[in-house]
Structure 1
Amino acid sequence: MSNLSSQVVLQVDRAIEILKAGGIVAFPTDTVYGLGGDAFNIEVAERIFRVKQRPCHLPLPVLLADFAQVASVVDSVSGIARFLMKHFWPGGLTLVLLKKDSLPDIITAGSNKVAIRIPDHVVPLTLIRGLGAPIIGTSANISDKPSPVTTEEVEQQLGSQVDLIIDMGKCPGGLESTIVDVTGETPVILRHGVIPEKEIKRACQEYAREVGKGAYCSGL
């Protein structure tokens, strides 16, 4: 955390304590401000649903600190999924894969799929490493409201319902992550975001050439 101010370092240290105690925190990422807590704590997930006023049928994405943590939440990783991870992580690509049974069903809204990514930002990475486990990484807003890019916007929407807001000014991204489902035969973009569709297609085409699947990207 050498590139963080002493004030932010103190906030991050406090946030790790809160996460370990089963609390929730708002934090800057490479896209928008996130809201998170221990991804394996059911009560934390329930609280995040309440705070965001998020419909229970909508799953919560999960943030990881490194590739080693993928196996803790995902059942298996396909060739294209691994290729996209190496190509775009850390960064603004969220991948949907088949979840591991040990991940609470509330996270995935009862689905057998989970959305994961490794952010390109020191704060969430430090929080995850400090907790020693993946964290929920949803946007720090009321559902259907604009995703916040400043702490002021987080406070306006969530206020005192969050245990701590880590203030690092405006997020550098401003756009949410791009979501791609890689559980089927071909990748499918579920949400357009910070990584343009053409970059996803280009990466998929590169993978297709490597494995000899000329029409691999037809689903995009």
Structure 2
Amino acid sequence: MIRPDSVETRRLAARIISNGGLIAFRTDTFYGLGVDPLNPDAVRRIKVLKGREEGKPILLLVADSSVVNRLMAQPPQLFERVTTELWPGPLTIIVPANDVLSQDITAGSSTVGLRLPNDESVRQFVRECGGVLTATSANPATKEPAKNAAEVQSYFPTGVDLIIDGGEVNVTEPSTVLDIMQTPPKLIREGAVSRSAIERVINLSDML
């Protein structure tokens, strides 16, 4: 079911999420699949829907930095510096996972990827859904990320309780993924935030 983004649609989405449902929505990058990450059964639905490999973790969007404390076991040394300079923005940061998160989120790694979107509308939506949502890209494991609601529906004719039509995505790159638990930090994926931008913040020319 596709519905245009509106106050009513967002209220419906929040109810679906609270009842263990699965939605698709426009994030600050591509369209993502959203469930309550603290609901293991809902998270498992994403894995089944995407045909996702067991060894791949699922990243989370947070509405504001205060939510992070619920999800992170202990902040790494560089966490405050990196988030102060580069959040909100398309940067997913790998941090130690709190034990409230299931292995389907962490892929058994004891870590979790968190992102604070640089889009107030997206942050507000996540806030309305409890402050945190999964945001793995809305596509089967072998396909490109969906850039609009119609593509999501073509990928998943069934299995998604609600697709929120937030319009066409106008970005070309995914979020950058940075593991700050290692010394030096490791750039897992370079995307919308460049390596040079990160190095200016953490001042580590020998970043992996």
TM-score (norm 2): 0.92
In 2, Cα distance between equivalents of 1:121 and 1:52: 26
Residue 157 in 1 paired to residue 155 in 2?
yes
Q: Which residue of 129, 132, 151 maps to 1:131?
A: 129
Contact 2:28 2:122 (C-alpha < 8 Å) held by counterparts = no
Letter in 2 for 1:84: V
Contact 1:59 1:107 (C-alpha < 8 Å) held by counterparts = yes
Structure 1 residues without counterparts, runs of 5 or longer: 1-5, 206-215
Q: Which residue of 181, 194, 199 maps to 2:179?
A: 181
Structure 2 residues without counterparts, runs of 5 or longer: none
| Two-structure CA RMSD over aligned residues (Å) | 1.6
Contact 1:39 1:133 (C-alpha < 8 Å) held by counterparts = no
Which residues in structure 2 correspond to 1:110-149 (within 5 Å)? 110-149=108-147
Contact 1:15 1:127 (C-alpha < 8 Å) held by counterparts = no
SS in 1 for 2:177: strand
In 1, Cα distance between equivalents of 2:5 and 2:139: 24
- How far off its partner does 1:7 sit? 5.2
SS in 1 for 2:105: coil
Letter in 1 for 2:77: G
In 2, Cα distance between equivalents of 1:88 and 1:173: 18
Identify the residue that residue 12 of structure 2 maps to in structure 1: 14
Which residues in structure 2 correspond to 1:1-220 (within 5 Å)? 8-205=6-203, 216-220=204-208
State the percentage of identical aligned residues: 32
Question: Which has the larger helix fraction?
Answer: 1
Q: Structure 1: which 4+ aligned runs deviate by more than 3 Å?
A: none
Letter in 2 for 1:141: N
Contact 1:29 1:120 (C-alpha < 8 Å) held by counterparts = no
Contact 2:13 2:129 (C-alpha < 8 Å) held by counterparts = no
1:137-156 alpha-carbon deviations (Å, 9 max, x no partner): 11011013101111121111
In 2, Cα distance between equivalents of 1:201 and 1:143: 31
Letter in 2 for 1:80: L
1:147-180 alpha-carbon deviations (Å, 9 max, x no partner): 1111121111122221111112112323210000
Bigger CA radius of gyration: 1
Question: Which has the larger strand fraction?
Answer: 2
